[in-house]
Amino acid sequence: MSERNPKQCILLIDDDPMQLMALGRILSPQYDVKMAKSGEAGLQLAVEHNVDLILLDLVMQDMSGFVALSRLKGTPETKEIPVIFVSSSTSSEDEAKGLALGAVDFIRKPFTEIVVNLRVKIHLQLVSQMQAIRNFSLTDGLTGINNRRNFDQMVKSTWNYAKRAKECFSVLLLDIDKFKQFNDKYGYLNGDICLKTVANTMQDSIDRGSDSAYRWGGEEFAVLLPSTPIEGATIIAERIRESIADTPIHLGGEPVFVTVSIGAGSIFPADLDFDETFLAFCRKLDKALYRAKENGRNRVEQVA
């Protein structure tokens, strides 16, 4: 399997080494298989890895499969991962309870290779289809970068991570200078070319894999910078600003240049409430952005 099409990842959680080996032997040829010999270890691996599907034993010594499933569904990083119970239980009550807690299927012990492969294949196909739909809904149709809905989801995850790690993160808010005049002079179709060029330049100016760029709305964009204090955010903002100012927009004739104004801010979540605190932070970012406009444009201003 090539790097462009990596194997889907399956996590096996079972405290019976023989069952782990048997499932691993069946699934390893087609998938990237992770194994955990306890519920607690499985929960940790689910958070640490990009898992597509979990096969979970119903009866384990350190915790029941029901408890493990409840914890998976209660954790932001793992709540969307589909879980299949693997169990020797024939109880309809156990099956109903598992489905009610969020399991997607049951595989009965003793299992056969063909049944395991077919059940896993079906659910991974659903995962791929849902991921394609999710990616489409989280991408800006014009520029091809992440959209505002994507930002709203990612910033909550970033907030929760920063809270646990007791660290800060930063956000940049960008606005294209005099974009209305650009549209009036060159037309809206060329305005779209301008937006695409700015978005691509901004995306190319981000070095770290953890950083991400978004179309905020209209001619505004945002950059999310996890684990980044204001000093580092300002350096990145200046790099983005300079790159955009130096990048020509090709409209068929002489190249045209635009600039952006940027508001930069850093926030330390600690034990603060997300909804109220982040909304107040966004207002401060917006004020910093417009202070950059008032102070001459093509500049970066920090949140006061």
- Give the model confidence (pLDDT) of 234-290 as tens digits: 999 999 999 999 999 999 888 999 999 999 999 999 888 898 899 999 999 999 999
- Give the model's pLDDT for residue 277: 93
Of 275 and 184, the one with more pLDDT: 184
Judged by average pLDDT, the poorest of 183-197, 202-216, 277-291 is 202-216
pLDDT digits (tens, 9 = 90+) for 158-179: 998 899 889 999 999 999 999 9
pLDDT beyond 80 at 157: yes
214, 150 Cβ separation under 8 angstroms: yes
Q: Where are the domains of the chain?
A: 9-136, 148-302
Task: Just give the CATH number of 148-302.
Answer: 3.30.70.270
Catalytic residues: 219
Which residues are 12's β-sheet partners?
35, 55
The mean-pLDDT minimum among 25-29, 184-188, 274-278 falls in 274-278
Whole-angstrom distance, CA of residue 224 vs CA of residue 43: 27
Residue 300 pLDDT > 90, yes or no?
yes
Residue 171's pLDDT is 97
User: Could you give the C-alpha distances from 297 to 177, 183, 241, in angstroms and in order?
Assistant: 7, 18, 10
- In the three-class reduction of DSSP (H, G, I as helix; E, B as strand; rest coil), residue 278 is classed as helix
> What is the band of 130 on the pLDDT scale with cuts at 50, 70, 90?
confident
Count of alpha carbons within 13 Å of 298, Cβ hemisphere only? Answer: 10
From the options 3.50.50.60, 3.40.50.2300, 3.40.47.10, 3.20.20.60, give the CATH code of 9-136.
3.40.50.2300
Instruction: Identify whether 248 is preceded by a cis peptide bond (ω within 30 of 0).
Output: no
* Best CA proximity match to 220, nearest among 255, 171, 266: 171
- The pLDDT of 55-80, averaged and rounded, is 93
Q: Could you tell me the two tokens for 207? A: 């070095």
The reported pLDDT for the residue numbered 5 is 58
Give the other-Cβ count within 10 Å of 268's Cβ: 13
For residues 37 and 53, what is the distance between their CA atoms, to the nearest angstrom? 17
Is a pLDDT exceeding 70 seen at residue 1? no
